[in-house]
A and B are shown apart, each in its own frame.
Chain A
Amino acid sequence: MGRIWKLGDNVNTDVIIPGRYNVTTDRAQLARYCLYEVLPEFSQQVQAGDVVMAGHNFGCGSSREHAPAAILANGVHVVIARSFARIFYRNAVNIGLPVLVCEEAVLASEDGQQVEADLTTGVIRNLTTGQTLEDERLEQLVTCSVAAGGIIEYIRQEGTLR
């Protein structure tokens, strides 16, 4: 259970983690500057288990993996969007940041409400409104990667990528 941080359409990776703060692999620094220029209070106020909800094309722009890494480093439980930009989605799956596509959940939720998302069933419950919704089904390879804890773990288990 966590608070909803609601964002709009086309939130790009420059907004998620600006280029001048990503010259690092330090998760703490990435966490600190996550969404810094649009929601400066985000990294101070976000709690482990909170949920980021966004409109269409979340994570568009650069391929920087620092973007999902910065969100993950803040303890965000899941990002739920109406749609994701391709590279961001792939990066999120690869590093183990859960991402769900659920148009209805985003449309029916407001910033600051409380939400619960079950990653195994894909069921999203808005605790403030009482509404329950379900996300789109994931591709098999994506499911396997997420279940393994990321693409690296998946390859370790399988021996190779196949």
Chain B
Amino acid sequence: MGTLAEEIFSYKLGRTVEQGETVVVEVDRVMSHDTTSPLAIQAFRKLAAQTGGHVFDSKRAHIVFDHIIPAATIAAATLHRDIRSFAQEQDITILQQGICHQVMPEMGYVVPGDIIVGADSHSCTYGALGAFGTGMGSTDIGVAYATGRSWFRVPTTINVCLTGDLQPGVYAKDLTLEMVRIIGVDGANYRALEYTGDLIERLSVSERFTFCNMAIEMGGKAGLVAPDEITRAWLHGRTEREYPMLAPRNPRYERVVEIDASKLSPLIARPPDVNNVVPVEEVEDVHIDQVFLGTCTNGRLDDLAIAASVLRGKTIHPSTRMVVIPASREVYLEAMRLGYLEIFAQAGASVGTPGCGPCIGRHFGVLAPGERALTTMNRNFTGRMGDPTAEIYLGSPATVAATALTGHITDPREFL
């Protein structure tokens, strides 16, 4: 009995677990990426006496190169070299085909009921498949690599109940920004978010990824959707593993937030905090120097399809520039096959290698002092994309594509 978070921990431990309890659990998967692996490896090494120098399971320990791939600097190349050497020693296959939170599910490494710890705050993305994914720091991940275990305080839960239908021009990203506006940037700190309501039954796994990904932007420890037939269909062909179809049973929620999606319009998060959310109309005069379509929030095939439908046969405005980065090689190849990449290139966009791109301000579209970007990213923090005086606005793929055509923040409904 309980919330989905309680159900998952109870299933794992074989006993009824309640919110507030501190438990030590065997985790299903451990993940780190090219920026967080070096410190995780340092922590792991310190436990050599306890582990014999081996990771708990080389097939369930995952390292993804996505933050600076291909290496943009000598420092990054050196980190990559050192991590490769560790991976070889531990018989871990390094994944280099896209962003960790896209690649882990695509590879079939995430199934309902799993508990997954990742050295990246957006590890909460895995909740879209009914897995308890959560972000941790490198030392926690080093410990998990060594022991296969981690400690958790079973969280209390905020229920986000979604009803109604998204109107044309309004997407999962707008819905997500509305959640952050209501709950705030720390309203879900230490808590899980559990998304329910009849709208969920009409949302794809990709759309679910978008709001589970941004649970952390409300402080959330996890963002969870109970698995259903849509989940099953998405996992079909990706994994042979059996998994439990866990669901909340008489859950005790700390708070219920109800959102009628049919009332929403396209939204924008203004800098420098994600809850700085306004209707697109309020910022339409803001000139944008660069738009960026991609990331673990909105770099999937449906996101690219929406943007391609806006940009088809058109050219981006000469006063702005556009960067497009598919979230993974799978997305990249499919977007190529469907002609989306050609549409972007013809429109004048720079199309990049699957990975995080400029989302962490290291390469492939960093911003100059005073510049402004509109992006499909999850964070608009000061300095995140380059110079600290540059400003980052967040919006949906459709809003980003429409803005590319005009050079200022634009309501995508004008282009549908």
Give the residue among A24, A86, A140, A151 with the most B Cβ atoms within 10 A: A86
Interface residue stretch chosen among B133-141, B166-174, B204-212, B284-292: B133-141
Other-chain residue from A20, A90, A139, A141 in contact with B137 (beta carbon distance below 8 A): A90
* A15 CA to B185 CA, complexed, in Å: 15
Question: Given A57-B189, A60-B185, A10–B136 Cβ distance below 8 Å?
Answer: no
- A19-B360, A63-B120 known; A90 vs B136 contact (CB < 8 Å): yes
Convert B269-285 into 0s and 1s, putting 1 for each residue whose CB lies closer than 8 angstroms to a CB of A: 00001000000000000
Tell me the bound Cα distance from A94 to B43 in angstroms.
10
A155 within 8 A of B: yes
Report how far A56 CA is from B139 CA in the complex, Å.
24
For chain B, give the interface size range.
35 or more
CB under 8 Å from chain A, chain B span 136-181 = 136-140, 142-143, 146-147, 149-151, 153
B186 at the interface (CB under 8 A from A): yes
Asked whether any CB of chain B lies closer than 8 Å to the CB of A22, the reply is: yes
Q: Chain A interface: which of B68-76, B234-242, B400-408?
A: B68-76
Whether a CB of chain A sits under 8 angstroms from the CB of B97 is: no
A91 at the interface (CB under 8 A from B): yes
Partner among A37, A87, A139 whose Cβ is within 8 Å of the Cβ of B136: A87
Contact A10 B273 (CB under 8 A): yes
Interface residues on A, range: 35 or more
Residues of B within 8 A of A22 (CB): 35
Known: A14-B381, A23-B362, A57-B189. A63 touches B151 (CB 8 A): no
Interface pick from B11-19, B250-258, B325-333, B382-390: B382-390
A83-B49 contact, Cβ under 8 Å, with A19-B362, A23-B68, A57-B219: no
Across-interface contacts of A159 in B (CB, < 8 A): 50
Chain B residues whose CB sits within 8 angstroms of the CB of A139 once the complex forms: 22, 153
B27 to chain A, nearest CB (A): 11
A137 close to chain B: CB less than 8 A: no
In contact, A155 and B137 (Cβ under 8 angstroms): no
What 1/0 flags go to B64-90 for Cβ under 8 Å of A? 000010000101100100000000000
User: Within B90-140, which residues are at the interface with A (CB < 8 Å)?
Assistant: 118-121, 123, 135-140
Q: Contact between A161 and B151 (Cβ–Cβ < 8 Å)?
A: yes
- A46 interface contact, C-beta 8 A: no
Residues of B within 8 A of A83 (CB): 186, 189
> Cβ of B136 and Cβ of A15 under 8 Å apart?
no
Task: Using known A-B contacts A60-B186, A86-B221, determine if residue A151 contacts B140 with beta carbons closer than 8 Å.
Answer: yes
Q: Of B136, B147, B153, which one neighbours A161 at CB under 8 angstroms?
A: B147
* In the complex, chain B residues 219-237 whose Cβ is within 8 Å of any chain A Cβ: 219, 221
Residue of B nearest to A95 (CB): B139
Q: List 11 A-B contacts (CB under 8 A).
A: A14-B379, A23-B35, A57-B185, A63-B118, A64-B36, A65-B39, A85-B219, A86-B219, A90-B137, A90-B140, A95-B137
- What are the 3 tightest A-B residue pairs by CB atom distance, in nearest-first order? A91-B137, A65-B137, A57-B186
